[in-house]
Structure 1
Amino acid sequence: MGEILKLVLPFRSTGRETHHPILAVCAVLLGPFMVGFHSRLFGIGLVDLRGAFGLGFDEGSWLSTLATAPQMVFAPAVAWLAAAFGIRRVMVGPALIYATISLMIPFTRDFTTLAVLHVIHGSLLGVFVPATLMIIFRNLPMKWWITAIAIYAFRGAFTVNSGTALLDFYVQHFGWQYLYWQDVILAPLLAFLAYKGAPRENVNMDLVRHADWGGMLFLGMGMAMLFVAVDQGNRLDWFENGIVTSMFAGGLVLIVAFFVNEMLVERPWAHLGAIGARNVVLLLSVALFYLMSSMSNSALVPNYLTAVAGLRPEQIGATLVTWVCVPLMLMTPIAVWAMHRTDGRFLLFTGLCCFAGASLIGTGLSPDWNGDSFRTMCVLQGAGHILTFLPIIVLTVANGDPKKAIAVAAYIQVIRLLGTQTAQALMTTYLRKGEQFHSYLTGLNVERGSESSVSALAALAHKMAGAGAALSQSRATAVLSQQVQKQANVLSYIDAFWLTFFCAVGGLVILAFVTKAPKGPLTA
């Protein structure tokens, strides 16, 4: 019982307890779903948004960066802000302002105004996820902690895989504006739940007087600059561009300044020692490998079906909802049941094996694959998400120092935001470079004048003979070039599936060194 009190104590409010704690929990669980759906809809709907706002490719790319980078500035500090100022002050006002901005954006056409609104929009969006775990521990009985964490873990994979179908539904039936306007309904609901469910807390003046404002500013701004560099790296060719190089350099300098600050200030906000426990370091390392291996689901499958198989969004959405979301929903209560009765490391082992198996299936990719060809892989990925992410969160909290919970929450946000974006950027770069490499190698076997090339072109030209001799020959050459590029794309995706397989195996290797978590409310 003493350890349980130590775990809950850092999250105690300084005011009266709420009479509706379940409403506060509903509010903070609604927040991650809202953030997840908006982020996914914005990412895959950017092409529609560029057309609606009349933006060029570069402007659209910068709009995406400006809409996400501000989350990095505030997200690590939200848990501390909630502890210092109370959930009501942190959640209610920003949610209402966020709803107003979401209502305004579709009516805006000036790019400068649009950019400013998205910066504010992204800053507010970064508030709604980081306080989730803290509110769960503060407001729910211990027997419900794992269930609530499972809902939090569930939303990540669910919003990613159902987002394509939801985007198509909005565009087909309501309009692209509902990418924003869905939050005009959800954000006020979140504000209402937070207001009714959270206690009326006094400001914790002790935390405010000893606030580590410098540390929060250094980490937040450093992460934002690194995000800009990573997000724009592929488009601007990484270190060949001055903006990317300067953002990387500036971000790293600020991160170093953050660590120096944490060693010098009297009360560091997020001292590195908060994640210094052996098991915590290992589990956060496993989390990074999980983020990379999960790219087989969030990036490789939908991108392949779009770019190579040529499927429409509604076809891709149906595949992901049926074969990822449904297994995910079925496995979530099973995972909760198992976490209450067995060591979470066994579930984590099973989840990583699911991702390894799915990636291994992906290495058998061929140009003939369509949505149905990914069924088994998607089922494994759906199960793998909850069996991996849930035990990572539970075991990290269970192995951490309860007195440093706010600091641990800050580092979790670093991995959630910057780690995810870095994994996406690395995968995009890997696919792009792989396609170029395989195009070159495949092209070596299509030599001009060779017997195989001449016969292939002759066969293609014969099929297009009705267009005339000259036109049929040029079309045959174009078709052959497309086939070479398609094959190069397939080979690059096979390499990417191998990469995610080895990342899953790497996570398993690190997991082997994780020892049993200390006895507590989050362990069986």
Structure 2
Amino acid sequence: MSVTAISAAAGSPERKPASPFPADLSHSPLLGILGVLLGAAIVTLTGRLLSLGLADLKGNVGISYDEGAWVGSAFNVALMFIGPFSVYLGGLFGARRVLLAGASIFTVVSASLPQVHSYSLLIVLLAVAGLTSGTFYPLTLTFALRNIPLRYLALVLALYAFFIEGAVNCAPSIYGFFRNHLSWEWMFWLPALATPAMMACVYFGIPESPMPQSKKEAPSFAGFLYLSAGFALLFAALDQGQRLDWWRSGLFNGLFAGSAVLLLFSLERRLRVPNFLVDLGYLRNWNTILLGFALFSFRLVLLATIIIIPQSLSVRGLDAEQYGPAVFWTAVLEIALAFVGALLLYKGIDSRLLMAIGFTAIAFACVLNANFTSAWSAESYFPTELLMGVGQSFALLGLISSIILQVAFSGGLEAPQRALTVSAFFHSVRLLGGQVGVALMGHFIAEREKLHSNLLGLHVQSGNWLVDGTLHGLAAGLAGRSNGAFGAAGRAVGVIDSRLRLQAYSLAFIDAFHIVVAACVVMLVFTAALRRSPMNFRQLPALQQGADSPQEARP
């Protein structure tokens, strides 16, 4: 049913409008919704805790820096691989079976990881954890698209946004508490304890309803395998690019070339042998493509609290528990702001306007944070926490709401393969956008630090009276704890160098905040280019009642 038909039906006094949502939507159990929220939070929190606890994990296993670089990649690359492949698994076995099986394996693996002391076994188990938890996002989103009661839809989307943002922003404080008061192993045990609760919600809340399969042919896995492997190799190349020095590395070139070949194979396979589990033609829609770009860019915006703020404090030697409050209070605010955003949606506000408010608030917060100096502590970020909380909550809620409305009113729920296809699409865009953003931001900060170090170094030359005076003063102060005058002079030069690097990093972080501001401006352009949905969240419950009425005649 087209958008025009829906709009015409909505305005017709003779008959009630037909709903683009499934007719049994309002009978969905709330436990299934809770499972959706828990699944999103668990996989997000696991990936974030793994990156925060990487140093402790490497120390426990006894591995080098280069070996440790593949620890996080094993989990994240597997997460990327299983995203598109979840469409095949969900179509073959049903979403409920795949979720329960994946969650069971993930629980056992997460509980076992702290006891692993073999590097090879660690990589294998992390890959298994990524493969199993990677099904949480696309398959639970598929359930959400087809089963959330319309009267709860805005509230559930608000909570979904909070669970994702809250997991990201709470992770440093959670890991800092575990590390300093319990044990670093809890970064694995916490997801292992939370996943059984999700499994219970999935078991009792999601009905056994596997996708109908064609009687003529079984679904082919080859195209899914090529696509998933291609995205996984691309993700690995981006993840290791900064360490390998990008195009100067043969391994990076090999990963990138392999990714390109597999993606081309996937495209050729899709064009030559269509698969009934995939409806790529449905994705050829202006708003769907634009929302994909918007989600891709939004991942760069989130780096303000994922990378820039934590690194700006950790570069001074602060640990996770010390710099965690700089982003923790943003997460605390987001729970209240999620309900505010849901209320605005229920009042009939356009989801695009909610997005615009969010990105504007993030931009203003980053402009204020661009006053950063090397003397800042976690408390220095508190004045901008409210703006950042409003921005991230409203922007993500508006983006997810726009995606849901677009899927609903473009026919995405009329066939199960469309729901699976669009879920896998946005899941892949989310992961790739996040990794591209991390790679670009990491490269940008490293290069800007080198530039500022060189520029600052031009003003620190031997023979300058201020430089010589500072060196002599530092050497005199360090002489009592140094090996003679030469040792004291060497330590004084080291102190000057560390101060220069700290200032260079400070300038690089200021530049990074400006990059996020520019990304927010791009997001505002994307928002303005979106076409308006025929109905808003205030009108959806009435639409559902019209669909449930016995007088309704669906066109």
Q: Name 1:356's counterpart in structure 2.
A: 363
CA displacement, residues 316-373 of structure 1 (integer Å, 9 cap, x when unaligned): 1233222x11221121000111122211111110111011111211222212211111
**Matched residues in 2 for 1:380 and 1:258: separation?**
43
1:508 to 521, 524, 527: 524
Q: Name 1:388's counterpart in structure 2.
A: 395
1:457–1:208 distance in 2 versus 1, CA, 3 Å: farther
Q: How far 1:301 sits from its partner (Å)?
A: 0.2
Q: How far 1:200 sits from its partner (Å)?
A: 2.9
- Does the aligned pair in 2 maintain the 1:398–1:523 contact within 8 Å? no
Is residue 176 of structure 2 the alignment partner of residue 168 of structure 1? yes
1:483 to 499, 502, 511: 499
Q: How far 1:183 sits from its partner (Å)?
A: 2.7
**Matched residues in 1 for 2:430 and 2:424: separation?**
10
Q: How far 1:47 sits from its partner (Å)?
A: 0.5
Q: How far 1:5 sits from its partner (Å)?
A: 6.3
**Count of residues paired in the alignment:** 517
- Does the aligned pair in 2 maintain the 1:92–1:190 contact within 8 Å? no
**Matched residues in 2 for 1:66 and 1:415: separation?**
19
- Does the aligned pair in 1 maintain the 2:324–2:378 contact within 8 Å? no
- Does the aligned pair in 1 maintain the 2:354–2:398 contact within 8 Å? yes
Per the normalisation by structure 2, the TM-score is 0.87
Q: How far 1:19 sits from its partner (Å)?
A: 8.2
- Does the aligned pair in 2 maintain the 1:262–1:270 contact within 8 Å? no
**Matched residues in 2 for 1:161 and 1:53: separation?**
27
1:512–1:36 distance in 2 versus 1, CA, 3 Å: same
Is residue 341 of structure 2 the alignment partner of residue 335 of structure 1? yes
Q: How far 1:84 sits from its partner (Å)?
A: 4.7
Q: Name 2:404's counterpart in structure 1.
A: 397
**Matched residues in 2 for 1:20 and 1:509: separation?**
37
Q: How far 1:258 sits from its partner (Å)?
A: 2.4
Q: Name 2:429's counterpart in structure 1.
A: 415
Query: Which deviates more from structure 2 when the two are superposed, residues 177-186 or residues 59-68?
Result: 177-186
CA displacement, residues 146-181 of structure 1 (integer Å, 9 cap, x when unaligned): 221222221221111111111122222331222112
- Does the aligned pair in 2 maintain the 1:262–1:271 contact within 8 Å? no
Question: Runs of 5+ in structure 1 lacking a partner?
Answer: none
| Secondary structure of 1:448 counterpart | coil
1:336–1:471 distance in 2 versus 1, CA, 3 Å: same
- Does the aligned pair in 2 maintain the 1:348–1:387 contact within 8 Å? yes
Identity percentage of aligned residues: 29
Question: Runs of 5+ in structure 2 lacking a partner?
Answer: 7-16, 541-555
CA displacement, residues 263-314 of structure 1 (integer Å, 9 cap, x when unaligned): 3333464454333221222222222222112211111001111013x32322
Q: Name 2:125's counterpart in structure 1.
A: 117
Is residue 117 of structure 2 the alignment partner of residue 101 of structure 1? no
Q: Name 1:126's counterpart in structure 2.
A: 134
| Secondary structure of 2:138 counterpart | coil
1:521–1:497 distance in 2 versus 1, CA, 3 Å: closer
Is residue 260 of structure 2 the alignment partner of residue 259 of structure 1? no
Q: Name 1:224's counterpart in structure 2.
A: 232
- Does the aligned pair in 2 maintain the 1:233–1:244 contact within 8 Å? yes
- Does the aligned pair in 2 maintain the 1:150–1:336 contact within 8 Å? yes
Q: Name 1:27's counterpart in structure 2.
A: 35
1:127–1:522 distance in 2 versus 1, CA, 3 Å: farther
Is residue 51 of structure 2 the alignment partner of residue 43 of structure 1? yes
**Matched residues in 2 for 1:485 and 1:169: separation?**
29
Is residue 160 of structure 2 the alignment partner of residue 152 of structure 1? yes
Q: Name 1:201's counterpart in structure 2.
A: 209
Query: Which deviates more from structure 2 when the two are superposed, residues 393-402 or residues 27-36?
Result: 393-402
1:192–1:311 distance in 2 versus 1, CA, 3 Å: same
| Secondary structure of 2:402 counterpart | helix
Q: How far 1:256 sits from its partner (Å)?
A: 2.6
CA displacement, residues 419-459 of structure 1 (integer Å, 9 cap, x when unaligned): 10110111111111111111111111111222332122233
CA displacement, residues 436-484 of structure 1 (integer Å, 9 cap, x when unaligned): 1111111111112223321222333344354464333222211111111
Query: Which deviates more from structure 2 when the two are superposed, residues 457-466 or residues 53-62?
Result: 457-466
Per the normalisation by structure 1, the TM-score is 0.92
Query: Which deviates more from structure 2 when the two are superposed, residues 153-162 or residues 313-322?
Result: 313-322
CA RMSD of aligned residues (A): 2.5
Q: Name 1:378's counterpart in structure 2.
A: 385
- Does the aligned pair in 2 maintain the 1:222–1:253 contact within 8 Å? yes
Residue type matched to 1:33 in 2?
A
**Matched residues in 2 for 1:409 and 1:294: separation?**
21
- Does the aligned pair in 2 maintain the 1:328–1:383 contact within 8 Å? yes
Q: Name 2:75's counterpart in structure 1.
A: 67
Q: Name 2:194's counterpart in structure 1.
A: 186
**Matched residues in 1 for 2:279 and 2:267: separation?**
8
**Matched residues in 1 for 2:488 and 2:235: separation?**
48
1:427 to 441, 444, 454: 441
CA displacement, residues 471-498 of structure 1 (integer Å, 9 cap, x when unaligned): 3322221111111111111111111111
1:107–1:464 distance in 2 versus 1, CA, 3 Å: closer
Residue type matched to 2:373 in 1?
S
- Does the aligned pair in 2 maintain the 1:85–1:204 contact within 8 Å? no
- Does the aligned pair in 2 maintain the 1:168–1:313 contact within 8 Å? yes
Query: Which deviates more from structure 2 when the two are superposed, residues 311-320 or residues 121-130?
Result: 311-320
- Does the aligned pair in 1 maintain the 2:239–2:435 contact within 8 Å? yes
Residue type matched to 2:489 in 1?
Q
Residue type matched to 1:258 in 2?
S
Q: Name 2:149's counterpart in structure 1.
A: 141
- Does the aligned pair in 2 maintain the 1:215–1:269 contact within 8 Å? no
**Matched residues in 2 for 1:95 and 1:453: separation?**
60
**Matched residues in 1 for 2:389 and 2:493: separation?**
42
Is residue 14 of structure 2 the alignment partner of residue 8 of structure 1? no
Query: Which deviates more from structure 2 when the two are superposed, residues 430-439 or residues 182-191?
Result: 182-191
Q: How far 1:210 sits from its partner (Å)?
A: 5.4
Which structure's relative contact order is higher, taking Cα pairs within 8 Å and 6+ residues apart? 2
Q: Name 2:458's counterpart in structure 1.
A: 444
Is residue 239 of structure 2 the alignment partner of residue 235 of structure 1? no
**Matched residues in 2 for 1:151 and 1:207: separation?**
40
**Matched residues in 2 for 1:419 and 1:347: separation?**
21
| Secondary structure of 2:242 counterpart | helix
1:6–1:244 distance in 2 versus 1, CA, 3 Å: farther
